[in-house]
Amino acid sequence: MATNYFISSSVTNKINEFRVLTNWHLFREVLNVPRRFLVASAGTIDEQNEIITKKILSAAQKSIPFQSQKVFKSSLPPFIVDLIKERRKIRRYFQKTRCLMTKQRYNHLTLEIQISLKKFWNQNWFDFIKKMGSNLIPTLTLNNQDFKTDEEKGKLF
């Protein structure tokens, strides 16, 4: 039976990475159980199947490293993430108490987060622009008209 499916190299690299990181000795130890299976009826086959499945899953959980998915928060600096967490706590507390001081603190944290995020994003853009360098934009042609100066090119967009 032939298939037309291909596994990309990034997927195979991840698979190979887990093969290297897996503790195969521990996997074998967890699976090392007596291999006597007495099959008397269809019910015992299902029970034995359940036991084997649980053993394999247990061995995999104990011996294969867990890699969590990266989330957006991890791309933010820790101090901004901490501010967001604190603001959420303050918001929950304000919803319970309706204290004006708590609302003022919440509003202050919101403003502080907005300012910090703007600074962070602007710094990222400046870093990106520095990486791009000072390459000149080539002459642009639109409707048989050439735009050579940077101002003319900028007005096109």
Q: What b/e readout covers 108-120, taking b as 16+ CB neighbours within 10 angstroms? A: ebeeeeeebeeee
89 or 32: which carries more pLDDT confidence?
89
| pLDDT bracket for residue 147 (50, 70, 90) | confident
| Chain segment 30-56, per-residue pLDDT in tens | 888 666 666 667 677 888 888 888 888
144: left (phi over 0), alpha (psi -120 to 50) or beta: left
Question: Domain extents for the chain?
Answer: 9-63, 72-132
How high is the pLDDT of residue 1? Answer: 45
| Chain segment 63-86, per-residue pLDDT in tens | 887 766 655 545 899 999 999 999
